[in-house]
């Protein structure tokens, strides 16, 4: 008796890293199992003709091939969606520019959904309506479960970064030039905007007020529904000052208006200013901006900055998807770097890997692969992930109490958060 066992097996193994192609490891494992099974079959009374056709197509890179192979390109879905800041902002413009690159290079359609405030940008990510968000420092606030995220509907979020834009701009405070104001201390008694559901804007404003020794009690607070509305308020004379990225669209409109624009300095040698600022906004770093409305290399702005926008995902986002997108953006930086004054910040040499929010495992796989992810960066990243774990545990303890009163719940969360972070040797920042 003869059994002809013909098992044609066709595998296409590309040279993309194992992090992008976990199925390669699974396939090889199954091949080994198949070989063991074939060898274990009884040989009495019949003959087995094993015809195993294995075709392995390896796409080689580097010196072995003169031309790149299409199969080695980042594997992205045909469609994806992000949220971003309002139309006309540098964050929105950069997201659209990256979308144009993805369309031209990979035939990917990126839908960029503008959001008026931090909650409207993060909620679609939380609920799975979008894959990523080109967000601001609210990513950090959401991680901490503070401000607009300190309520039963939110709590600390398991957010991760892919990469960020760190350009030649600042995150600063501009006044209408016709006010004659030249320092933060002079904002006392002035009309200062407060954007509803936007702690990224309001806490940053509060931090800069602290530079001048002021609090919200020392100014006239004027509420606005969104970022753009706030800047229209400055241009229309309803308020005197606003917070923004220096290269964002609205500051240029203020510069072109009859009121004009002046960015207030936060002198780097003013230790008191920076001590008070960082106590409220620990995400700020000292920086001299050379790009922005009314700013140039000859007229720099001395103040603070932080990454913006931050390409953010949930920790649960697929590793291969994150890897591919990070790689696509980094490898095609030249295609969109001139699209917006702030887009230069996506350059590899501008990446800040030791900030206040951890990086996604898929992104880490890529950054490690190209040799820029060090042991020190990994230790920092793991410490940030540990912080998120402490926050998640503290949140679970509070929710298990079944507190119905909203104000009581928020107070209990603040207390539990502070206690658990301090017990873990971590700074709560806000108490």
Residue 226 or 109, more confident: 109
Q: Any residues with CB less than 8 A from the CB of 291 and at least 6 apart, and which?
A: 167, 168, 169, 246, 247, 341, 342
Q: Please, what's the b/e burial string for 6-21 (b: 16 or more CB within 10 A of its CB; e: otherwise)?
A: eeeeeeebbebeebbb
Bridge partners (DSSP) listed for residue 160: 313
Rounded Cα distance, 179 and 372, in Å: 47
Please tell me the least confidently modeled range out of 32-36, 158-162, 178-182, 225-229: 32-36
336 CB neighbour count, 10 Å cutoff? 21
Percent of the chain with pLDDT over 90: 78
Place of tokens 């603040």: 414
DSSP per-residue codes, 218-286: GSEEEEESSHHHHHHHHHTTS-SEEEEETTSHHHHHHHHSTT-EEEPP--TT-HHHHHHHHHH-TT-EE
Q: Any residues with CB less than 8 A from the CB of 256 and at least 6 apart, and which?
A: none
* Spans of all domains in the chain: 2-71, 73-166+309-423, 171-305
Chain centroid offset of residue 25 CA? 30
Residue 243 or 226, more confident: 243
Please tell me the least confidently modeled range out of 6-15, 72-81, 370-379: 6-15
Q: Please, what's the b/e burial string for 386-420 (b: 16 or more CB within 10 A of its CB; e: otherwise)?
A: ebbebbeebbeebeeeebeeeeebeebbbebbbeb
Asked whether residue 37 carries a pLDDT value surpassing 90, the answer given is no
- pTM here is 0.76
Instruction: Encode pLDDT of 51-83 as tens digits.
Output: 333 333 333 333 332 333 455 889 999 999 999
Residue 360 or 59, more confident: 360
Instruction: Encode pLDDT of 78-109 as tens digits.
Output: 999 999 999 988 899 999 999 999 999 999 99
pLDDT at 71: 56
Instruction: Encode pLDDT of 253-294 as tens digits.
Output: 999 999 999 999 999 999 999 999 999 999 999 999 999 999
Instruction: Encode pLDDT of 165-174 as tens digits.
Output: 999 999 999 9
Query: What is the third-level CATH fold of 171-305?
Result: D-Maltodextrin-Binding Protein; domain 2 (3.40.190)
Asked whether residue 112 carries a pLDDT value surpassing 90, the answer given is yes
Phi-psi region at 399: left, alpha or beta (left = phi > 0; alpha = psi -120 to 50) = alpha
On average, the pLDDT of the chain sits at 87
Instruction: Encode pLDDT of 394-423 as tens digits.
Output: 999 999 999 999 999 999 999 999 999 999
Bridge partners (DSSP) listed for residue 132: 82
Confidence of residue 217 (pLDDT cuts 50, 70, 90): very high
DSSP per-residue codes, 304-318: EE---SEEEEETTS-
pLDDT at 120: 93
Asked whether residue 21 carries a pLDDT value surpassing 80, the answer given is no
Strands across the sheet containing 159-164: 109-114, 79-84, 132-135, 310-314, 159-164
pLDDT at 143: 98
Helix (H) or strand (E) holding 366: helix 361-369
pLDDT at 207: 98
Instruction: Encode pLDDT of 319-328 as tens digits.
Output: 999 999 999 9
As a whole number, mean pLDDT of residues 314-318 equals: 98
Rounded Cα distance, 307 and 266, in Å: 18
Rounded Cα distance, 290 and 299, in Å: 7
Q: Do domains 73-166+309-423 and 171-305 have the same CATH topology?
A: yes
Give the phi and the psi of residue 316 in degrees, each rounded to 5: -85, -5
Rounded Cα distance, 53 and 180, in Å: 81
As a whole number, mean pLDDT of residues 286-307 equals: 97
Correct CATH for 73-166+309-423 of 3.40.190.10, 3.50.30.60, 3.30.70.1140, 3.90.380.10: 3.40.190.10
Rounded Cα distance, 114 and 131, in Å: 14
**Coil/strand/helix, residue 48:** strand
């Amino acid at each position: 008796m003869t059994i002809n066992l013909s098992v044609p097996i066709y595998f296409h193994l590309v040279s993309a890293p194992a992090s992008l192609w976990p199925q390669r490891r699974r396939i090889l494992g199954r091949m080994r199992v198949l070989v063991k099974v074939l060898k274990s079959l009884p040989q009495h009374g019949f003959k087995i003709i094993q015809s195993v056709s294995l075709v392995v197509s390896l796409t080689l890179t580097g010196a072995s091939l003169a031309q790149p192979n299409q199969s080695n390109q980042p594997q992205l879905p045909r469609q994806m969606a992000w949220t971003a800041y309002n139309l006309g902002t540098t964050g929105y413009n950069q997201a659209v520019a990256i979308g144009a690159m993805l369309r031209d290079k990979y035939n990917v359609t990126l839908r960029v959904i503008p959001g008026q405030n931090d909650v409207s940008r993060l909620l679609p990510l939380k609920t799975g309506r979008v894959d990523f968000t080109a967000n601001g420092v609210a990513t950090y606030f959401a991680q901490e479960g503070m401000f607009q995220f300190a309520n039963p509907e939110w709590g600390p979020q398991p957010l991760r970064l892919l990469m960020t834009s760190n350009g030649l701009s600042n995150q600063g405070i501009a006044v209408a030039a016709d006010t004659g104001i030249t320092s933060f201390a002079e904002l006392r008694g002035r009309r200062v905007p407060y954007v509803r559901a936007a702690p990224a804007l309001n806490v940053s404003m509060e931090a800069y007020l602290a530079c001048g020794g002021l609090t919200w009690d020392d100014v006239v607070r004027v509420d606005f529904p969104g970022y753009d509305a706030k800047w229209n308020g400055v241009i229309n004379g309803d308020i005197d000052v606003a917070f923004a990225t220096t290269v964002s669209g609205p500051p240029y409109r203020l510069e072109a208006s009859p009121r004009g624009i002046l960015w207030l300095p936060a002198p780097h040698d003013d230790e008191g200013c920076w001590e008070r600022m960082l106590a409220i906004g620990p995400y700020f770093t000292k920086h001299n901006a050379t790009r922005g409305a009314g700013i140039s290399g000859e007229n720099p702005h001395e103040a603070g900055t932080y990454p913006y926008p931050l390409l953010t995902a949930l920790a649960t986002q697929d590793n291969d998807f994150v890897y591919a997108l990070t790689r696509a953006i980094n490898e095609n930086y030249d295609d969109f770097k001139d699209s917006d004054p702030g887009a230069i910040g996506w350059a590899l040499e501008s990446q800040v890997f030791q900030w206040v929010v951890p990086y996604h495992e898929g992104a880490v796989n890529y950054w490690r692969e190209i040799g820029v992810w060090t042991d020190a960066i990994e230790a920092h990243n793991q410490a940030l992930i540990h912080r998120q774990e402490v926050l998640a545990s503290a949140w679970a303890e509070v929710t298990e109490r079944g507190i119905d009163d909203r104000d009581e719940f928020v107070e209990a969360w603040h207390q539990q958060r502070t206690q658990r972070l301090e017990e873990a040797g971590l700074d709560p920042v806000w108490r």
